[in-house]
Amino acid sequence: MAAVDFDLGFTYVLAGWEGSAHDATVLAHALTRERGLQVPHGKFYLVDAGYGAKPGFLPPFRGVWYHLNEWGNNPVQNDMELFNLRHSSLRAR
């Protein structure tokens, strides 16, 4: 697991987990270990849907399209789709 800031500088790295480990499990470990991941006061991390919503972590809405290649020429249908589209474009840089 890795966390980066908006300048793409690494702020935290946790290596050693198998690729099959669930995202939420790895995050829980990162948050509870000594010198673990800290969310700066008043800030949050954009995460994918596998992490779930919790203080300091902002996932996309579940069950709503958000990958850019899924959009094609279709217009955004509602606020949740627009949020997920913007969320995806920020995470995918």
Summarised one tens digit per residue, pLDDT across range 51-80 is 888 899 999 998 886 665 666 677 788 899
In a domain, residue 21? The reply is yes
**DSSP conformation class of 19:** T
In a domain, residue 19? The reply is yes
Report the SS3 class of residue 40: coil
In a domain, residue 3? The reply is yes
For the chain, the domain total comes to 1
Distance CA 29, CA 18 (A): 13
In a domain, residue 8? The reply is yes
In a domain, residue 38? The reply is yes
Residue range of the domain that includes 7: 1-42
Summarised one tens digit per residue, pLDDT across range 3-57 is 988 888 999 999 999 989 998 899 999 999 999 999 989 999 999 888 888 899 9
